[in-house]
Copies of this chain bind each other. A is one copy, B any other.
Amino acid sequence: MDSKTLRVVQFGLGPIGQASAKLAVERSQMKLVGAIDIDPEKVGKDVGEVVGLGTKTGISVSADAKKTLAEAKPDIVLHTTRSFVPDVFPQFEAILSAGVNVVSSTEELLFPQLKNPDLARQLDLLARSNNATILGTGVNPGYVLDTLVLMATGVCTDVTRIRAERVVDASERRLPLQKKVGAGMTPEEFKALVAAGKLGHIGMKESVALIAYGLNWTLSDIQEEIEPVLADETATTPFLTVPKGMVAGIHNVGRGFVDGEERITLDLKMYVGAKNPHDGVHLDSVPPIHLEITNGTMGDIATVAMLHNMAPLVVQADPGLKTMADMPVPRVFL
* Chain A residues near B (Cβ < 8 Å): 1, 3, 23, 139, 143, 147-148, 150-151, 153-159, 213-217, 285-295, 297-298, 301-302, 304-306, 308-309, 324-334
Contact = CB atoms under 8 A, between A and B. Distances in A.
Nearest to A148: B151
Given A294-B292, A301-B287, A334-B159, A154 B327 contact: no
A289 B285 contact: no
B1 A305 contact: no
A151 B331 contact: yes
B290 A332 contact: no
Nearest to A301: B287
Nearest to A213: B1
B287 A298 contact: yes
6 tightest A-B contacts by CB?
A154-B330, A287-B298, A153-B332, A155-B302, A150-B331, A290-B294
B157 A304 contact: yes
Nearest to A138: B155
A210 to B, nearest CB: 11
B325 A1 contact: yes
A309 B285 CA distance: 14
Contact of A154 (B157, B158, B159, B331): B331
B1 A216 contact: yes
Contacts of A151: 148, 151, 329-331
21 contacts: A1-B215, A1-B325, A3-B216, A143-B155, A148-B151, A153-B309, A153-B331, A154-B329, A155-B297, A155-B330, A156-B332, A157-B308, A215-B332, A215-B334, A217-B334, A287-B301, A325-B329, A325-B331, A327-B328, A328-B328, A329-B330
A290 B278 CA distance: 10
Contacts of A291: 291-294
Contacts of A324: 329
A157 B328 contact: no
A117 to B, nearest CB: 17
A328 B331 contact: no
A333 B325 CA distance: 13
Contacts of A157: 23, 301, 304-305, 308, 332
A215 to B, nearest CB: 6
Most buried by B among A148, A158, A217, A331: A331
Contacts of A290: 293-295
Contact of A287 (B216, B297, B326, B328): B297
Contact of A305 (B155, B288, B333): B155
Given A217-B334, A289-B293, A328-B328, A143 B139 contact: no
A264 B216 CA distance: 35
Residue from A154, A297, A298, A305 having most chain B Cβ neighbours under 10 A: A154
A308 B153 CA distance: 12
A204 to B, nearest CB: 19
Contacts of A150: 329-331
Residue from A287, A290, A304 having most chain B Cβ neighbours under 10 A: A287
A235 B74 CA distance: 62
Nearest to A143: B155
